[in-house]
Chains A and B, each alone.
Chain A
Protein backbone atom coordinates (compact mmCIF):
# COMPACT_ATOMS: atom_id res chain seq x y z
CA UNK A 1 0.00 0.00 0.00
CA UNK A 2 1.34 3.41 -1.03
CA UNK A 3 0.36 6.89 0.00
CA UNK A 4 -0.50 9.61 -2.46
CA UNK A 5 -1.11 13.24 -1.75
CA UNK A 6 -3.92 14.90 -3.66
CA UNK A 7 -3.26 18.61 -4.19
CA UNK A 8 -6.31 20.67 -5.06
CA UNK A 9 -5.99 23.80 -7.15
CA UNK A 10 -8.56 26.43 -8.00
CA UNK A 11 -8.54 29.22 -10.58
CA UNK A 12 -11.29 31.47 -9.32
CA UNK A 13 -11.20 32.85 -5.76
CA UNK A 14 -14.98 32.75 -5.64
CA UNK A 15 -14.86 28.94 -5.77
CA UNK A 16 -12.88 28.80 -2.56
CA UNK A 17 -16.08 29.76 -0.74
CA UNK A 18 -18.26 26.80 -1.67
CA UNK A 19 -22.04 26.72 -1.34
CA UNK A 20 -23.65 24.43 1.27
CA UNK A 21 -24.57 22.11 -1.59
CA UNK A 22 -20.91 21.94 -2.70
CA UNK A 23 -19.80 21.31 0.88
CA UNK A 24 -22.25 18.43 1.14
CA UNK A 25 -21.09 16.97 -2.14
CA UNK A 26 -17.45 17.18 -1.10
CA UNK A 27 -18.25 15.61 2.27
CA UNK A 28 -20.06 12.72 0.59
CA UNK A 29 -17.08 12.16 -1.67
CA UNK A 30 -14.60 12.30 1.23
CA UNK A 31 -16.66 9.98 3.43
CA UNK A 32 -17.12 7.59 0.50
CA UNK A 33 -13.35 7.41 0.29
CA UNK A 34 -13.04 6.84 4.03
CA UNK A 35 -15.69 4.13 3.76
CA UNK A 36 -13.38 2.28 1.37
CA UNK A 37 -10.68 2.66 4.03
CA UNK A 38 -8.53 4.51 1.51
CA UNK A 39 -8.22 7.78 3.36
CA UNK A 40 -4.82 8.22 5.02
CA UNK A 41 -5.29 11.80 6.18
CA UNK A 42 -8.23 14.05 5.46
CA UNK A 43 -5.80 16.94 5.11
CA UNK A 44 -6.60 20.63 5.39
CA UNK A 45 -8.01 23.54 3.44
CA UNK A 46 -5.61 26.43 2.96
CA UNK A 47 -6.36 30.12 3.36
CA UNK A 48 -5.99 32.34 0.29
CA UNK A 49 -6.06 35.68 2.06
CA UNK A 50 -3.72 35.04 4.95
CA UNK A 51 -0.78 33.85 2.91
CA UNK A 52 2.80 34.86 2.19
CA UNK A 53 5.44 33.61 -0.16
CA UNK A 54 9.13 33.69 0.69
CA UNK A 55 11.72 33.61 -2.09
CA UNK A 56 15.38 32.78 -1.92
CA UNK A 57 16.48 36.37 -1.35
CA UNK A 58 14.11 36.41 1.63
CA UNK A 59 11.75 38.82 0.00
CA UNK A 60 8.32 38.16 1.41
CA UNK A 61 5.36 38.82 -0.82
CA UNK A 62 1.67 38.78 -0.05
CA UNK A 63 -0.53 35.94 -1.10
CA UNK A 64 0.27 32.92 -3.11
CA UNK A 65 1.39 33.76 -6.58
CA UNK A 66 -0.72 36.69 -7.66
CA UNK A 67 0.77 36.47 -11.11
CA UNK A 68 -0.17 32.82 -11.34
CA UNK A 69 -3.77 32.06 -12.07
CA UNK A 70 -4.03 28.88 -9.97
CA UNK A 71 -3.70 28.57 -6.24
CA UNK A 72 -3.62 25.57 -3.94
CA UNK A 73 -6.85 25.35 -1.98
CA UNK A 74 -6.11 22.24 0.01
CA UNK A 75 -4.59 18.78 0.18
CA UNK A 76 -5.28 15.31 1.53
CA UNK A 77 -3.69 11.87 1.58
CA UNK A 78 -5.06 8.63 0.22
CA UNK A 79 -3.70 5.09 0.49
CA UNK A 80 -3.93 2.84 -2.55
CA UNK A 81 -1.80 0.18 -4.22
CA UNK A 82 -1.22 2.10 -7.44
CA UNK A 83 -1.25 5.67 -8.70
CA UNK A 84 -3.99 4.69 -11.17
CA UNK A 85 -6.24 3.81 -8.26
CA UNK A 86 -5.46 7.13 -6.59
CA UNK A 87 -6.30 8.93 -9.84
CA UNK A 88 -9.64 7.10 -10.02
CA UNK A 89 -10.46 8.33 -6.51
CA UNK A 90 -9.42 11.88 -7.39
CA UNK A 91 -11.71 11.90 -10.44
CA UNK A 92 -14.73 11.93 -8.14
CA UNK A 93 -13.76 15.15 -6.37
CA UNK A 94 -16.34 17.88 -7.02
CA UNK A 95 -13.59 20.50 -7.46
CA UNK A 96 -13.26 19.27 -11.04
CA UNK A 97 -16.80 20.48 -11.75
CA UNK A 98 -15.82 24.10 -11.08
CA UNK A 99 -12.70 24.07 -13.19
CA UNK A 100 -10.29 23.13 -10.43
CA UNK A 101 -7.54 20.56 -10.79
CA UNK A 102 -6.20 17.73 -8.68
CA UNK A 103 -2.56 16.80 -8.73
CA UNK A 104 -1.69 13.26 -7.58
CA UNK A 105 1.81 12.64 -6.19
CA UNK A 106 3.26 9.61 -4.50
CA UNK A 107 4.55 10.30 -1.00
CA UNK A 108 8.16 9.15 -0.77
CA UNK A 109 9.56 7.62 2.36
CA UNK A 110 12.46 9.77 3.47
CA UNK A 111 15.65 7.84 3.91
CA UNK A 112 17.87 9.33 6.58
CA UNK A 113 20.58 6.71 6.25
CA UNK A 114 22.09 7.91 3.01
Chain B
Protein backbone atom coordinates (compact mmCIF):
# COMPACT_ATOMS: atom_id res chain seq x y z
CA UNK B 1 0.00 0.00 0.00
CA UNK B 2 2.78 2.37 0.95
CA UNK B 3 4.68 1.48 -2.20
CA UNK B 4 1.55 2.08 -4.15
CA UNK B 5 1.15 5.55 -2.73
CA UNK B 6 4.75 6.64 -3.34
CA UNK B 7 4.95 5.33 -6.88
CA UNK B 8 1.64 6.99 -7.55
CA UNK B 9 2.88 10.28 -6.15
CA UNK B 10 5.76 10.17 -8.56
CA UNK B 11 3.84 9.01 -11.59
CA UNK B 12 0.66 11.03 -11.43
CA UNK B 13 1.93 14.61 -11.93
CA UNK B 14 4.08 13.60 -14.89
CA UNK B 15 1.37 11.46 -16.45
CA UNK B 16 -1.33 14.09 -15.93
CA UNK B 17 0.89 16.72 -17.43
CA UNK B 18 1.58 14.63 -20.50
CA UNK B 19 -1.93 13.34 -21.00
CA UNK B 20 -3.90 16.43 -20.04
CA UNK B 21 -3.06 18.40 -23.17
CA UNK B 22 -3.55 15.41 -25.47
CA UNK B 23 -6.95 14.52 -24.01
CA UNK B 24 -8.23 18.06 -23.88
CA UNK B 25 -7.10 18.70 -27.47
CA UNK B 26 -9.13 15.74 -28.76
CA UNK B 27 -12.16 16.72 -26.70
CA UNK B 28 -11.91 20.42 -27.53
CA UNK B 29 -12.02 19.49 -31.16
CA UNK B 30 -15.06 17.34 -30.58
CA UNK B 31 -17.09 19.79 -28.52
CA UNK B 32 -15.94 22.86 -30.40
CA UNK B 33 -14.55 26.17 -29.25
CA UNK B 34 -17.89 27.25 -27.79
CA UNK B 35 -17.73 24.59 -25.11
CA UNK B 36 -14.09 24.30 -24.21
CA UNK B 37 -14.91 24.08 -20.52
CA UNK B 38 -16.88 20.85 -21.08
CA UNK B 39 -13.72 19.24 -22.40
CA UNK B 40 -11.73 20.55 -19.44
CA UNK B 41 -14.33 19.29 -16.95
CA UNK B 42 -14.33 15.84 -18.47
CA UNK B 43 -10.55 15.59 -18.30
CA UNK B 44 -10.46 16.90 -14.72
CA UNK B 45 -13.10 14.35 -13.70
CA UNK B 46 -11.10 11.63 -15.40
CA UNK B 47 -7.99 12.51 -13.41
CA UNK B 48 -10.03 12.66 -10.22
CA UNK B 49 -11.39 9.20 -10.87
CA UNK B 50 -7.87 7.94 -11.63
CA UNK B 51 -6.54 9.31 -8.34
CA UNK B 52 -9.38 7.66 -6.40
CA UNK B 53 -9.34 4.33 -8.19
CA UNK B 54 -5.60 3.88 -8.43
CA UNK B 55 -4.99 4.61 -4.75
CA UNK B 56 -7.14 1.55 -3.95
CA UNK B 57 -6.53 -0.79 -6.88
CA UNK B 58 -3.04 0.27 -7.83
CA UNK B 59 -1.88 1.73 -11.08
CA UNK B 60 -3.03 -0.14 -14.19
CA UNK B 61 -0.51 -1.58 -16.64
CA UNK B 62 -1.19 1.03 -19.26
CA UNK B 63 -2.26 4.14 -17.35
CA UNK B 64 -2.68 6.30 -20.46
CA UNK B 65 -5.01 3.79 -22.12
CA UNK B 66 -6.99 3.59 -18.86
CA UNK B 67 -7.37 7.36 -18.84
CA UNK B 68 -8.53 7.42 -22.47
CA UNK B 69 -11.23 4.80 -21.80
CA UNK B 70 -12.56 6.71 -18.81
CA UNK B 71 -12.47 10.01 -20.69
CA UNK B 72 -14.28 8.46 -23.65
CA UNK B 73 -17.01 7.07 -21.40
CA UNK B 74 -17.41 10.32 -19.56
CA UNK B 75 -17.66 12.22 -22.84
CA UNK B 76 -20.28 9.78 -24.14
CA UNK B 77 -22.21 10.01 -20.86
CA UNK B 78 -22.16 13.75 -21.18
CA UNK B 79 -23.48 13.59 -24.74
CA UNK B 80 -26.29 11.19 -23.83
CA UNK B 81 -27.34 13.27 -20.82
CA UNK B 82 -27.13 16.41 -22.88
CA UNK B 83 -29.10 14.83 -25.73
CA UNK B 84 -31.88 13.58 -23.47
CA UNK B 85 -32.19 17.04 -21.99
CA UNK B 86 -32.25 18.62 -25.43
CA UNK B 87 -34.85 16.15 -26.80
CA UNK B 88 -37.11 16.50 -23.76
CA UNK B 89 -36.98 20.23 -23.80
CA UNK B 90 -37.03 20.75 -27.50
CA UNK B 91 -38.42 17.40 -28.64
CA UNK B 92 -36.95 18.05 -32.01
CA UNK B 93 -34.06 15.70 -32.27
CA UNK B 94 -34.48 12.17 -33.45
CA UNK B 95 -32.26 9.96 -31.28
CA UNK B 96 -31.54 7.64 -34.20
CA UNK B 97 -30.03 10.47 -36.13
CA UNK B 98 -27.51 11.10 -33.45
CA UNK B 99 -24.13 9.81 -34.31
CA UNK B 100 -21.18 9.37 -32.07
CA UNK B 101 -19.27 8.73 -35.19
CA UNK B 102 -16.02 10.34 -34.21
CA UNK B 103 -16.10 8.10 -31.17
CA UNK B 104 -13.46 10.11 -29.31
CA UNK B 105 -10.47 8.84 -31.14
CA UNK B 106 -7.35 8.89 -28.96
CA UNK B 107 -4.97 7.45 -31.53
CA UNK B 108 -1.68 9.25 -32.05
CA UNK B 109 -2.89 10.62 -35.39
CA UNK B 110 -6.06 12.03 -33.85
CA UNK B 111 -4.10 13.56 -30.97
CA UNK B 112 -1.62 15.18 -33.37
CA UNK B 113 -4.38 16.56 -35.61
CA UNK B 114 -6.30 17.88 -32.62
CA UNK B 115 -3.25 19.55 -31.10
CA UNK B 116 -2.38 21.14 -34.42
CA UNK B 117 -5.93 22.44 -34.82
CA UNK B 118 -5.95 23.80 -31.28
CA UNK B 119 -2.65 25.62 -31.79
CA UNK B 120 -4.20 27.48 -34.69
CA UNK B 121 -7.42 28.09 -32.77
CA UNK B 122 -5.63 29.56 -29.77
CA UNK B 123 -3.49 31.89 -31.87
CA UNK B 124 -6.48 34.05 -32.60
CA UNK B 125 -5.44 37.48 -33.86
CA UNK B 126 -8.41 39.12 -32.12
CA UNK B 127 -6.61 38.49 -28.82
CA UNK B 128 -3.56 40.50 -27.88
CA UNK B 129 -0.28 38.67 -28.23
CA UNK B 130 0.08 38.58 -24.42
CA UNK B 131 -3.35 36.95 -24.12
CA UNK B 132 -2.52 34.45 -26.83
CA UNK B 133 0.55 33.37 -24.90
CA UNK B 134 -1.44 32.98 -21.65
CA UNK B 135 -4.11 31.05 -23.49
CA UNK B 136 -1.53 28.84 -25.18
CA UNK B 137 0.02 28.06 -21.80
CA UNK B 138 -3.33 27.21 -20.29
CA UNK B 139 -5.04 25.40 -23.15
CA UNK B 140 -2.15 23.89 -25.07
CA UNK B 141 0.28 23.27 -22.21
CA UNK B 142 -2.04 22.69 -19.25
CA UNK B 143 -0.35 25.32 -17.05
CA UNK B 144 -2.16 26.49 -13.94
CA UNK B 145 -3.03 30.17 -13.55
CA UNK B 146 -0.45 30.34 -10.74
CA UNK B 147 2.32 28.95 -12.93
CA UNK B 148 1.50 31.41 -15.70
CA UNK B 149 1.48 34.30 -13.24
CA UNK B 150 4.83 33.20 -11.87
CA UNK B 151 6.33 32.96 -15.36
CA UNK B 152 5.18 36.47 -16.23
CA UNK B 153 5.89 37.98 -12.78
CA UNK B 154 2.25 39.06 -12.76
CA UNK B 155 -0.52 38.81 -10.19
CA UNK B 156 -2.77 35.76 -10.56
CA UNK B 157 -5.80 38.08 -10.65
CA UNK B 158 -4.43 39.84 -13.74
CA UNK B 159 -3.79 36.53 -15.49
CA UNK B 160 -7.28 35.29 -14.57
CA UNK B 161 -8.88 38.37 -16.08
CA UNK B 162 -6.73 38.15 -19.18
CA UNK B 163 -7.67 34.49 -19.66
CA UNK B 164 -11.35 35.16 -19.10
CA UNK B 165 -11.41 37.76 -21.86
CA UNK B 166 -9.31 35.64 -24.16
CA UNK B 167 -11.52 32.60 -23.70
CA UNK B 168 -14.59 34.69 -24.42
CA UNK B 169 -13.05 35.78 -27.72
CA UNK B 170 -12.17 32.19 -28.46
CA UNK B 171 -15.77 31.07 -27.93
CA UNK B 172 -17.02 33.76 -30.28
CA UNK B 173 -14.52 32.87 -32.96
CA UNK B 174 -15.94 30.90 -35.86
CA UNK B 175 -12.66 29.16 -36.37
CA UNK B 176 -13.15 25.68 -37.77
CA UNK B 177 -11.19 23.16 -35.70
CA UNK B 178 -12.69 19.92 -36.99
CA UNK B 179 -10.83 20.22 -40.25
CA UNK B 180 -7.93 22.59 -40.31
CA UNK B 181 -8.12 24.07 -43.79
CA UNK B 182 -5.19 25.09 -45.96
CA UNK B 183 -6.64 28.58 -45.90
CA UNK B 184 -6.68 28.76 -42.11
CA UNK B 185 -3.09 27.58 -42.01
CA UNK B 186 -2.03 30.22 -44.54
CA UNK B 187 -3.75 33.03 -42.74
CA UNK B 188 -2.64 32.16 -39.21
CA UNK B 189 0.75 30.53 -39.50
CA UNK B 190 2.56 33.84 -38.98
CA UNK B 191 0.62 34.52 -35.79
CA UNK B 192 1.19 30.97 -34.57
CA UNK B 193 4.95 31.30 -35.09
CA UNK B 194 5.07 34.67 -33.40
CA UNK B 195 3.22 33.32 -30.36
CA UNK B 196 5.47 30.27 -30.07
CA UNK B 197 8.55 32.47 -30.62
CA UNK B 198 7.51 34.77 -27.79
CA UNK B 199 6.53 31.83 -25.59
CA UNK B 200 10.04 30.48 -26.01
CA UNK B 201 11.65 33.87 -25.41
CA UNK B 202 9.58 34.32 -22.30
CA UNK B 203 11.28 31.21 -21.00
CA UNK B 204 14.72 31.98 -22.35
CA UNK B 205 14.98 35.64 -21.37
CA UNK B 206 12.34 35.77 -18.64
CA UNK B 207 12.95 37.91 -15.60
CA UNK B 208 11.33 35.24 -13.48
CA UNK B 209 13.84 33.73 -11.08
CA UNK B 210 12.16 30.37 -11.19
CA UNK B 211 14.58 28.41 -13.33
CA UNK B 212 12.27 25.41 -13.63
CA UNK B 213 9.34 27.39 -14.97
CA UNK B 214 11.62 29.00 -17.52
CA UNK B 215 12.86 25.66 -18.77
CA UNK B 216 9.26 24.47 -18.91
CA UNK B 217 8.28 27.37 -21.15
CA UNK B 218 11.14 26.61 -23.53
CA UNK B 219 10.42 22.91 -23.74
CA UNK B 220 6.68 23.51 -24.20
CA UNK B 221 7.40 25.88 -27.09
CA UNK B 222 9.59 23.23 -28.68
CA UNK B 223 6.97 20.53 -28.12
CA UNK B 224 4.35 22.63 -29.91
CA UNK B 225 6.79 23.44 -32.72
CA UNK B 226 7.31 19.71 -33.13
CA UNK B 227 3.57 19.31 -33.74
CA UNK B 228 3.92 21.80 -36.61
CA UNK B 229 7.02 20.09 -38.01
CA UNK B 230 5.41 16.66 -37.92
CA UNK B 231 2.39 17.74 -39.92
CA UNK B 232 3.16 17.98 -43.66
CA UNK B 233 0.76 20.91 -43.98
CA UNK B 234 2.81 23.10 -41.65
CA UNK B 235 6.31 21.73 -42.15
CA UNK B 236 7.53 24.85 -43.98
CA UNK B 237 11.06 26.26 -44.24
CA UNK B 238 10.09 29.11 -41.91
CA UNK B 239 8.77 26.68 -39.28
CA UNK B 240 12.07 24.80 -39.54
CA UNK B 241 13.99 28.05 -39.14
CA UNK B 242 12.21 28.88 -35.89
CA UNK B 243 12.70 25.32 -34.66
CA UNK B 244 16.43 25.53 -35.45
CA UNK B 245 16.63 28.79 -33.51
CA UNK B 246 14.94 27.22 -30.47
CA UNK B 247 17.25 24.19 -30.56
CA UNK B 248 20.40 26.33 -30.77
CA UNK B 249 19.25 28.59 -27.94
CA UNK B 250 18.20 25.64 -25.79
CA UNK B 251 21.58 24.01 -26.24
CA UNK B 252 22.93 26.70 -23.89
CA UNK B 253 20.11 26.58 -21.30
CA UNK B 254 22.18 24.54 -18.84
CA UNK B 255 25.37 26.53 -19.35
CA UNK B 256 23.86 29.98 -18.97
CA UNK B 257 22.70 29.69 -15.37
CA UNK B 258 24.70 28.58 -12.36
CA UNK B 259 23.34 26.63 -9.40
CA UNK B 260 21.92 29.81 -7.87
CA UNK B 261 20.03 30.62 -11.02
CA UNK B 262 22.36 33.52 -11.84
CA UNK B 263 22.94 34.25 -15.50
CA UNK B 264 26.37 33.37 -16.84
CA UNK B 265 27.41 35.57 -19.75
CA UNK B 266 28.03 33.94 -23.09
CA UNK B 267 31.78 34.44 -23.03
CA UNK B 268 32.13 32.93 -19.57
CA UNK B 269 30.00 29.86 -20.22
CA UNK B 270 31.49 26.41 -19.94
CA UNK B 271 31.19 25.28 -23.53
CA UNK B 272 31.36 21.63 -22.51
CA UNK B 273 27.95 22.14 -20.96
CA UNK B 274 26.41 23.08 -24.29
CA UNK B 275 24.17 20.29 -25.47
CA UNK B 276 25.70 18.80 -28.63
CA UNK B 277 22.52 16.85 -29.18
CA UNK B 278 20.44 20.01 -29.44
CA UNK B 279 23.07 21.72 -31.61
CA UNK B 280 22.90 18.80 -34.03
CA UNK B 281 19.11 18.97 -34.04
CA UNK B 282 19.39 22.67 -34.74
CA UNK B 283 21.70 21.99 -37.68
CA UNK B 284 19.22 19.46 -39.02
CA UNK B 285 16.32 21.93 -38.94
CA UNK B 286 18.51 24.73 -40.29
CA UNK B 287 19.27 22.70 -43.40
CA UNK B 288 15.54 22.18 -43.93
CA UNK B 289 14.95 25.87 -43.30
CA UNK B 290 17.18 26.82 -46.22
CA UNK B 291 15.99 24.06 -48.55
CA UNK B 292 14.21 24.71 -51.82
CA UNK B 293 14.84 27.20 -54.57
CA UNK B 294 13.45 30.25 -52.80
CA UNK B 295 15.90 32.55 -51.05
CA UNK B 296 14.37 32.32 -47.59
CA UNK B 297 15.06 35.28 -45.42
CA UNK B 298 12.50 35.70 -42.69
CA UNK B 299 13.60 37.04 -39.32
CA UNK B 300 13.52 33.47 -38.02
CA UNK B 301 15.99 32.43 -40.72
CA UNK B 302 18.31 35.28 -39.77
CA UNK B 303 18.02 34.66 -36.04
CA UNK B 304 18.58 30.93 -36.53
CA UNK B 305 21.67 31.68 -38.62
CA UNK B 306 23.00 34.00 -35.89
CA UNK B 307 22.30 31.36 -33.24
CA UNK B 308 24.13 28.85 -35.42
CA UNK B 309 27.26 31.01 -35.48
CA UNK B 310 27.09 31.30 -31.70
CA UNK B 311 27.44 27.52 -31.44
CA UNK B 312 30.66 27.55 -33.48
CA UNK B 313 34.16 28.27 -32.14
CA UNK B 314 35.42 31.81 -32.63
CA UNK B 315 37.37 32.32 -35.83
CA UNK B 316 38.26 35.36 -37.92
CA UNK B 317 35.02 35.56 -39.83
CA UNK B 318 32.55 34.56 -37.17
CA UNK B 319 31.67 38.02 -35.89
CA UNK B 320 31.70 39.53 -39.36
CA UNK B 321 29.05 36.97 -40.37
CA UNK B 322 27.04 37.68 -37.25
CA UNK B 323 27.22 41.44 -37.85
CA UNK B 324 26.02 41.07 -41.44
CA UNK B 325 23.11 38.92 -40.27
CA UNK B 326 22.18 41.48 -37.62
CA UNK B 327 22.40 44.19 -40.29
CA UNK B 328 19.78 42.34 -42.33
CA UNK B 329 17.67 41.57 -39.28
CA UNK B 330 17.45 45.19 -38.17
CA UNK B 331 16.36 46.15 -41.68
CA UNK B 332 13.48 43.67 -41.53
CA UNK B 333 12.24 44.70 -38.11
CA UNK B 334 13.46 47.31 -35.66
CA UNK B 335 13.65 46.36 -32.03
CA UNK B 336 15.83 47.90 -29.30
CA UNK B 337 17.24 44.49 -28.40
CA UNK B 338 18.22 43.74 -32.00
CA UNK B 339 19.82 47.21 -32.20
CA UNK B 340 21.88 46.49 -29.06
CA UNK B 341 22.86 42.97 -30.12
CA UNK B 342 23.92 44.33 -33.50
CA UNK B 343 26.13 46.88 -31.79
CA UNK B 344 27.76 44.16 -29.69
CA UNK B 345 28.63 42.32 -32.92
CA UNK B 346 29.81 45.65 -34.37
CA UNK B 347 32.19 46.00 -31.41
CA UNK B 348 33.59 42.52 -32.04
CA UNK B 349 34.36 43.48 -35.64
CA UNK B 350 35.33 47.15 -35.37
CA UNK B 351 36.59 47.44 -31.81
CA UNK B 352 35.11 48.98 -28.67
CA UNK B 353 36.06 52.57 -29.47
CA UNK B 354 34.01 52.77 -32.65
CA UNK B 355 31.25 50.70 -31.08
CA UNK B 356 30.84 53.22 -28.24
CA UNK B 357 30.00 55.92 -30.79
CA UNK B 358 27.61 53.56 -32.54
CA UNK B 359 25.94 52.62 -29.25
CA UNK B 360 25.55 56.16 -27.95
CA UNK B 361 23.69 57.09 -31.12
CA UNK B 362 20.99 54.60 -30.16
CA UNK B 363 19.93 56.71 -27.17
CA UNK B 364 18.17 53.80 -25.49
CA UNK B 365 18.92 55.30 -22.08
CA UNK B 366 15.79 53.80 -20.47
CA UNK B 367 16.85 50.23 -21.22
CA UNK B 368 19.09 48.29 -18.84
CA UNK B 369 20.84 46.39 -21.64
CA UNK B 370 21.93 49.69 -23.21
CA UNK B 371 23.85 50.61 -20.07
CA UNK B 372 25.14 47.08 -19.61
CA UNK B 373 26.56 47.21 -23.15
CA UNK B 374 28.20 50.61 -22.58
CA UNK B 375 29.56 49.34 -19.27
CA UNK B 376 31.14 46.46 -21.16
CA UNK B 377 32.50 48.67 -23.96
CA UNK B 378 34.03 51.27 -21.60
CA UNK B 379 35.63 48.65 -19.33
CA UNK B 380 38.99 48.75 -21.14
CA UNK B 381 39.33 52.49 -21.49
CA UNK B 382 37.29 54.35 -18.89
CA UNK B 383 36.63 52.53 -15.64
CA UNK B 384 34.53 55.29 -14.09
CA UNK B 385 32.20 55.50 -17.05
CA UNK B 386 32.02 51.74 -17.21
CA UNK B 387 31.01 51.44 -13.56
CA UNK B 388 28.54 54.31 -13.88
CA UNK B 389 26.79 52.54 -16.77
CA UNK B 390 26.76 49.20 -14.98
CA UNK B 391 25.20 50.91 -11.95
CA UNK B 392 22.51 52.44 -14.14
CA UNK B 393 21.82 49.03 -15.65
CA UNK B 394 21.36 47.62 -12.14
CA UNK B 395 18.88 50.33 -11.22
CA UNK B 396 16.87 49.67 -14.39
CA UNK B 397 16.59 45.87 -14.29
CA UNK B 398 13.90 43.98 -12.40
CA UNK B 399 15.71 40.68 -12.54
CA UNK B 400 17.45 39.78 -9.28
CA UNK B 401 19.89 37.43 -11.00
CA UNK B 402 20.86 40.09 -13.52
CA UNK B 403 21.48 42.59 -10.72
CA UNK B 404 23.83 40.08 -9.11
CA UNK B 405 25.68 39.41 -12.35
CA UNK B 406 26.19 43.13 -12.98
CA UNK B 407 27.20 43.77 -9.38
CA UNK B 408 29.89 41.12 -9.69
CA UNK B 409 31.20 42.84 -12.79
CA UNK B 410 31.44 46.15 -10.92
CA UNK B 411 33.29 44.47 -8.07
CA UNK B 412 35.70 42.90 -10.56
CA UNK B 413 36.34 46.31 -12.16
CA UNK B 414 36.84 47.96 -8.76
CA UNK B 415 39.52 45.42 -7.96
CA UNK B 416 41.44 46.13 -11.17
CA UNK B 417 41.39 49.82 -10.30
CA UNK B 418 43.57 49.45 -7.22
Contact = CB atoms under 8 A, between A and B. Distances in A.
Interface of A: 24, 27-28, 30-32, 34-37, 39, 42
Contacts, number: 39
A36 B327 CA distance: 12
A22 B225 CA distance: 40
Contact of B363 (A28, A34, A36): A36
Interface residues of B, number: 17
A109 B338 CA distance: 31
A24 B324 contact: yes
B334 A34 contact: yes
A16 B116 CA distance: 50
B119 to A, nearest CB: 32
Of the candidates B323, B330, B342, B362, the one having the most CB atoms from chain A within 10 angstroms of its own CB is B330
Contact of B339 (A24, A27, A30, A36): A36
Contacts of A30: 327, 331
A36 B362 contact: yes
B112 interface: no
15 contacts: A27-B324, A28-B327, A28-B346, A31-B327, A31-B328, A31-B331, A31-B342, A32-B361, A34-B330, A34-B331, A35-B339, A35-B343, A35-B358, A35-B362, A36-B361
Residue from A24, A28, A35, A39 having most chain B Cβ neighbours under 10 A: A35
Given A24-B324, A27-B324, A32 B331 contact: no
Given A34-B334, A35-B358, 10 more contacts: A27-B327, A30-B331, A31-B326, A31-B327, A31-B328, A34-B330, A35-B334, A35-B339, A35-B362, A36-B363
A42 to B, nearest CB: 6
A37 B339 contact: yes
Nearest to A29: B327
Contacts of B334: 34-35, 37, 39
A32 B357 CA distance: 11
A27 B327 CA distance: 7
A54 B412 CA distance: 68
A35 B342 contact: yes
A34 B339 CA distance: 8
